[in-house]
């Protein structure tokens, strides 16, 4: 389901420029946003003009936007605008800010200019910096220009990433496997720096929920999914256990108010239930509830960010950077034991045994092709956090077991060096869309470094400024 983002519409003017023309453009901008289906909160009830220019209106607008639950604001400079009240409002709200103004018309025959919008944008940009307010700039353009719509929709996706990141709660099901020192995380630091909250539960609590559901036939929906959408190559009792595990995780994620989960997928679980959790993870991943392997908390954070960047319209996949392609010099294998969403499979997946274990319960299928993949990884160590991100495209390659995709990047040696030297590990998250600019822009609001594995920063900046 597409994410719902609500913007606060803040048209602004300055008294020495044409008030009638500012009113004209505030109405034209509101009409265009309605035409585009943008959900926004207006300020027409704040003062007779519905424009921000007076300091006494800042608190009223802030209160209204908080009440309405806006996720970001657009400072629309309908003439020069009043930069200091715009900055005060933005500072008060602490939300993503889109700075924009409609392109000025030709000067009048007598030489007068009515709006001077661009000049006002220069002023507001400087004052926002003085207030230490992060903002996104949408180029000075006409309402009819394609870049206006693109910029608005991209900004809404940025707002969705920021909104998601600021309210993350992850169900941690068991500690990390002993051998996976790579997936350790600093729970206190994640809370202190980013308000990312973990809800740790011991595996016995999960196991008790699985047995209760299995004994009471409480996983009918999940069982149906497995029978309808996979080729079953394991015994029916184990299919029922996989379905029960999926329902148990879903129940506990809901119980603890979480949006995602990270599970200790081996080896204690196998001794208790006799299955791998991969296919159960897959079911939840397909429902838009990311569940990642090996208690990789940073991986779960990444999955939530990636799905937010695509406005929750499609599913992500959690993968290992694994081995180089045997023939393609810039090719790489992305794979995991079998937790990828069924919906991204190229063919009907098999419910079978994973590549590295004897216990059953994983999926095996190649992922469908993708020409515009985004691959990303949130990670950190020694108190510093960043987001590795870049593009890839799928390519042909040898068949393997598990869920997998062969991809090609621009320069595999450069990517390899980034992952090895860190702060990253062999896990990443992929989505079937180029959302690198969205994630890049979101990083400024959430206080982490955007780390591009290809030297495309200038291209990304050019795209964001409307080129």
Q: What is the DSSP string of 183-231?
A: G---HHHHHHHH--EEEEE-HHHHHHHHHHHHHTT--HHHHHHHHHHSE
On the CB side of 426, how many CA atoms lie within 13 Å of its CA? 15
Q: Are strands 197-201 and 169-173 parallel, antiparallel or unpaired?
A: parallel
| Phi-psi group of 177: left, alpha or beta (phi > 0 → left; psi -120 to 50 → alpha; rest → beta) | beta
As beta bridge partners, residue 362 has 352
Query: Measuring CA to CA, which residue among 411, 388, 395 is closest to residue 301?
Result: 388
Look at residue 107 in the predicted model and tell me its pLDDT. Answer: 72
Cα(459)–Cα(233) distance, integer angstroms: 47
As beta bridge partners, residue 75 has 10, 99
| Phi-psi group of 37: left, alpha or beta (phi > 0 → left; psi -120 to 50 → alpha; rest → beta) | left
What single DSSP character describes residue 433?
S
| Phi-psi group of 396: left, alpha or beta (phi > 0 → left; psi -120 to 50 → alpha; rest → beta) | beta
Look at residue 109 in the predicted model and tell me its pLDDT. Answer: 78
Please provide the DSSP assignment of 234-288 as one string: S-HHHHHHHHHHHHHHHHHHHHTT-SEEEE--SSHHHHHHSB-SHHHHHHHHHTT
Look at residue 154 in the predicted model and tell me its pLDDT. Answer: 98
Around Cβ 114, how many Cβ atoms within 10 Å?
18
Q: What angle do CA 364, 369, 370 make, to 5 degrees?
A: 125
Spans of the chain, pLDDT less than 70? 16, 111-114
Look at residue 177 in the predicted model and tell me its pLDDT. Answer: 85
Look at residue 108 in the predicted model and tell me its pLDDT. Answer: 72
The reported pTM is: 0.96
Look at residue 174 in the predicted model and tell me its pLDDT. Answer: 96
| Whole-Å CA distances, 62 to 16, 42, 66, 72, 91 | 25, 12, 6, 12, 10
């Amino acid at each position: 389901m597409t994410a719902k983002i609500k913007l606060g519409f803040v048209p602004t003017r300055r008294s020495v420029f044409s008030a009638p023309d500012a009113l004209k453009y505030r109405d034209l901008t509101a009409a265009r946003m309605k035409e585009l289906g943008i959900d926004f909160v207006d300020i027409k009830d704040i003062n007779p003009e519905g424009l921000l220019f007076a300091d006494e209106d800042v608190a009223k607008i802030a209160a209204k936007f908080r009440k309405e639950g806006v996720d970001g604001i657009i400072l629309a400079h309908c003439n020069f605008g009043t930069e200091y009240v715009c900055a005060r409002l933005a500072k008060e709200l602490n939300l993503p800010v889109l700075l924009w103004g409609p392109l000025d018309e030709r000067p009048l025959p007598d030489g007068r200019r009515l709006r001077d919008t661009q000049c006002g944008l220069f002023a507001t940009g400087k004052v926002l910096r003085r207030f230490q307010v992060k903002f996104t700039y949408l180029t000075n353009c006409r309402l009819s220009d394609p870049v206006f719509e693109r910029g608005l929709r991209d900004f809404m996706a940025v707002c969705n990433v920021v909104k998601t990141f600021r309210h993350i709660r992850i169900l941690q099901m068991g500690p990390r496997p002993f051998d996976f020192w790579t997936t350790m995380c600093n729970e206190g630091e994640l809370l202190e720096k980013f308000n990312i909250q973990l809800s740790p539960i011991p595996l016995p609590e999960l196991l008790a929920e699985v047995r209760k559901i299995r004994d009471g036939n409480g996983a009918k929906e999940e069982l149906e999914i497995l029978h309808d959408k996979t080729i079953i190559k394991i015994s029916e009792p184990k299919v029922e256990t996989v379905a029960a595990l999926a329902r148990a995780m879903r129940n506990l994620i809901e119980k603890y108010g979480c949006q995602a989960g990270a599970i200790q997928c081996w080896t204690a679980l196998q001794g208790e239930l006799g299955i791998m959790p991969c296919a159960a993870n897959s079911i939840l991943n397909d429902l838009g509830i990311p569940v990642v392997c090996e208690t990789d908390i940073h991986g779960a954070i990444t999955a939530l960010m990636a799905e937010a960047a695509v406005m929750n319209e499609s599913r992500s996949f959690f993968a290992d950077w694994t081995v180089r392609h045997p023939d393609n010099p810039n090719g790489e294998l992305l794979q995991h034991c079998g937790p990828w969403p069924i919906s991204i499979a190229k063919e009907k997946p098999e419910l079978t045994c994973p590549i590295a274990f004897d216990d059953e319960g994983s999926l095996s299928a190649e992922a469908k092709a993708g020409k515009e993949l985004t691959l990303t990884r949130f990670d950190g160590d020694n108190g510093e956090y960043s987001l590795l991100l870049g593009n890839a495209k799928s390519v042909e390659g040898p068949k393997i077991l598990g869920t997998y995709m062969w991809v090609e990047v621009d320069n595999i040696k450069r990517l390899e060096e980034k992952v090895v030297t860190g702060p990253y590990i062999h896990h990443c998250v992929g989505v079937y869309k180029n959302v690198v600019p969205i994630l890049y822009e979101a990083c400024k609001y959430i206080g982490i470094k955007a780390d591009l594995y290809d030297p495309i920063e200038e291209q990304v900046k050019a795209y964001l400024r409307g080129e």
